[in-house]
Amino acid sequence: MMKETVTANKVSSKGKTQAKRNMKPFIIGGVALLAAGAGYGIYYFFFKDKEDEDDSNGDAGTARKSTSIYTSKSYPLSYGTDHPDVGVLQLYLKKTYQANLGNYGKNKDGIDSKFGNATKDAALKHLKKISFTEKDIAGMKSALKFIRV
C-alpha cells in the first residue's frame, strides 16, 4: 500500500511538471500580446494625431483623389463651404447657444471654418436657416464682441 502512494506522488509530481512545461508557450504568447498592445497604444496616442494633421494639409505631392464635400470658398456660406467666416458662425453658435459642433479643428472644439453636418444641424436648430450672407456674419461678429469675456 505504501508503495502505491509513493508511486502515485511521483506520477502526480511528474504530471504537474509536464503541465508547467505546457503552460510556457501560453505565458510567453500572452506577454508578447500585451507588449504589442502597449506598443500600439503608445503609437496611437502619441503619433497618430500628428499623422492625421499632416494628411489634412492637402499635400500637393500625394496622388490621392479628393473626396471632400467642401467645394465652395465664397458667399453665401452654406453646407460645403470652406471659408474663414464659417469659423465666425461656428464661434457664434458655440458661445451663444452652447451648440455641440463635435471635436473638429485645431483646438478640437468644433471650430474648423468648414460648413459640415455639425454646423448645418446647429445652424438649422438655433438660427432656423442654413445659408448665411456677409450681412449675417457681420451681425454675428458684432454680437460676439459683447459675448466674449
Whether pTM > 0.85 for this model: the answer is: no
Identity at 61, one-letter amino acid code: G
Segments making up each domain of the chain, as ranges: 1-58, 84-147
CB 72 within 8 A of CB 78: yes
For residues 68-83, average pLDDT: 91
Query: Is the pLDDT reported for residue 101 higher than 80?
Result: yes
Helices 84-97 and 117-127, interaxial angle, to 10°? Answer: 50
For 10, half-sphere exposure in the C-beta direction (CA atoms, 13 angstrom radius) is 6
Q: How far is CA 100 from CA 123, 126, 146, in A?
A: 11, 11, 21
For residues 62-74, average pLDDT: 74
Query: What was the pLDDT predicted at 119?
Result: 95
Which of the residue ranges 37-46, 57-66, 126-135 would you say has the lowest mean pLDDT? 57-66
Of 72, 95, 90, 80, the C-alpha closest to 137 is 90
Give residue 16's pLDDT band: very low, low, confident or very high (50, 70, 90): low
For residues 54-80, average pLDDT: 70
DSSP-derived secondary structure for 19-55: HHHHHHHHHHHHHHHHHHHHHHHHHIIIIIHHHHHHH
Query: What was the pLDDT predicted at 61?
Result: 46
* Cα–Cα distance measured from residue 92 to residue 136, given in angstroms and rounded to the nearest whole number: 11
Query: Is the pLDDT reported for residue 98 higher than 90?
Result: yes
118: Cβ–Cβ under 8 A, 6 or more apart, which residues? 100, 101, 102, 104, 110
Query: Is the pLDDT reported for residue 58 higher than 60?
Result: no
* Cα–Cα distance measured from residue 139 to residue 85, given in angstroms and rounded to the nearest whole number: 12
